Amino acid sequence: MSTPPPTQEVFDKLLLYLAPDRERAGEEYELLRLRLLTYFRSRACLCAEELADEALNRLAQKIADGEPIREITRYCYGLAHWVWMEYLRDPKTKHTSFDELPLMTVIMPDPLLLQERMDCFKRCLKRLTAEERLMIVSYWDHDQQSDSTARREIAERMGISPTALRIRISRGKNKLKECYSNCMEKGQKR
Amino acid sequence: MNELSYNSDLLKRYLLGRLPPDQQDSVEEKFFTENDLFIELLDAEDQLICDYLSDRLSAVDRERFERRFLTLPDRRNEVELARLFRAGNIEQPSIEPATMRASAPDRPRQLFAALRANLALTGASAAALILIAVAGLWLVSRQSTELGDYGVTAPERSAVITLELAPVLDRSEGATPRVVKTARARAIGLKLAAGPTAFLNYRGSLQRLEVEAVEVMTSDALKWEQSNSGDRIVTWEISTDKLLSGNYQVKLEGVNADYSIEGIGAYHFKVVEE
């Protein structure tokens, strides 16, 4: 089960299918990918990223092959299901459900490691753009109100739609996660 | 119970795996087809993490949360970062809306590069990187000889070490290509896989990656050649004098005919002294 990644032309066709405006199409693509990740993660899948990309590669190819697709998101849901079934049927797959996984308890790290983690976190927060930092800090800092209220207020302040804000928060968090992982990895090698 | 709180409760139960299979399928089909519901789901996930860290979950929900959120690396990282934020007393930055960019520059191109870079499903490692390092030496005829103050001829450095690189997505996964800087090496010749798009020109920025990325040098007119498959390979020869031991990143951009600029990718490598 491996569909080759799309060419630029095929990818551009997919974007056009999602929305005529390229930037809006990019947002729809990211939302689609996030949906796929959510779908596969809810099934205790450790390779959620790979399966999500497989589904998207197939979707892009179907569109390039001229297959008529009325509702692309519903079609993608069907693709996700199909990819998941294939993954389970693959003899190389050793899938374990959440209920079979050992319970992960949180062990408090020693003070030195805790400090190192905090240093990495603050350093990585500084490496975000000002806009990303504002979004993420504002978003995390709203414990007293509902998420949708907080999202609306932040979106209004920034002059963008709540959906666009949500996508950018996801992007910012991914950058933060990657930076933090790299920073911690460097620290462990010392 | 209004629709919003009904949704929140339903979505929370979905995230904790407490829905019967047919209801789970129904929620999933809905969040694929309804943008608003999916955004609410992402919010519900954040709220769940918040509730977990504030110790507001019941014992049963807490156990379910730990099984579902602390066993998958990406979700575990998310919880970790939220925890650090709460512990760190991070202040809200103040920034005027007018100073913010309207959107990330050409995000679709970044998404395309990311999708192309992920080759886990074609048999490469689960780290999903294509990293090809080819070290080769060949002799290049010497252009000039410099005499030091004491009439001593400087040792001849004429070799160029070649390193072929592809754009990377996640630096934490897989091995970074490395090049060993020898005494005879005059330069390192980077060959950067730049994809099939024909740009008018190529620009590159070489950065040394330590705690912060430090720019070492830039070039506004990189040369390119065509591979057998028709893709472009951008070449950049960098003097070894500029390269200390350490981790490096090249950010490659393409310049279109209308002079707009598009990001092509980031290429990582490591320099090690002989």
Nearest to A148 among B4, B29, B81 (CB): B4
Residue numbers of A between 104 and 133 with CB closer than 8 Å to B: 104-106, 117-118, 121-123, 125, 127, 129-131, 133
Which residues in chain A touch residue B71, judged by CB atoms under 8 angstroms apart?
44, 98, 101, 104
> Over 90: is that where the pLDDT of A40 sits?
yes
Tally helices (H) and strands (E) across chain B. Answer: 6, 10
Nearest-Cα distance to chain B for A138, in Å, is 6
Residue range A128-180, pLDDT digits in tens: 888 888 888 877 775 545 566 777 777 888 788 888 888 888 888 888 988 98
Residue range B27-83, pLDDT digits in tens: 999 999 998 899 889 989 988 998 998 899 999 999 899 989 988 888 888 898 888
> Over 90: is that where the pLDDT of A3 sits?
no
Residue B90's pLDDT is 67
Residue B138's pLDDT is 35
Beta-carbon separation of B38 and A34 below 8 A? yes
> Over 90: is that where the pLDDT of B227 sits?
no
> Over 50: is that where the pLDDT of B122 sits?
no
Residue A105's pLDDT is 59
Residue B99's pLDDT is 43
| CB-based contacts of A101, cutoff 8 Å, min separation 6 | A44, B67, B71
Residue A95's pLDDT is 76
- Rounded Cα gap, residues B21 and A132, in angstroms: 37
Which residues in chain B touch residue A123, judged by CB atoms under 8 angstroms apart?
211
Nearest CA in chain B to A21: B108
Residue A51's pLDDT is 93
Lookup: tokens for A57 = 């590669």
Which residues in chain A touch residue B46, judged by CB atoms under 8 angstroms apart?
139, 147
- Rounded Cα gap, residues A180 and A32, in angstroms: 25
Q: What is the mean pLDDT of chain B?
A: 74
- A176 contacts B81 by C-beta, under 8 angstroms: yes
Lookup: tokens for A108 = 């408090």
Q: What percentage of residues in chain A have a pLDDT greater than 90? A: 24
> Over 90: is that where the pLDDT of B263 sits?
no
Q: If pLDDT is split at 50, 70 and 90, which confidence band does A55 have?
A: very high
- Rounded Cα gap, residues A40 and A37, in angstroms: 5
Residue B142's pLDDT is 35
Beta pairing class for B232-239 and B185-195:
antiparallel
- Rounded Cα gap, residues B34 and B128, in angstroms: 31
Nearest-Cα distance to chain A for B118, in Å, is 8
Beta-bridge mates of residue A110: none
Residue numbers of B between 181 and 210 with CB closer than 8 Å to A: 195-197
Residue range B75-121, pLDDT digits in tens: 888 898 888 888 876 666 554 444 444 444 567 777 777 777 654 43
Q: What percentage of residues in chain A have a pLDDT greater than 70? A: 88
* Weakest mean pLDDT among A71-75, A169-173, B48-52, B255-259: B255-259
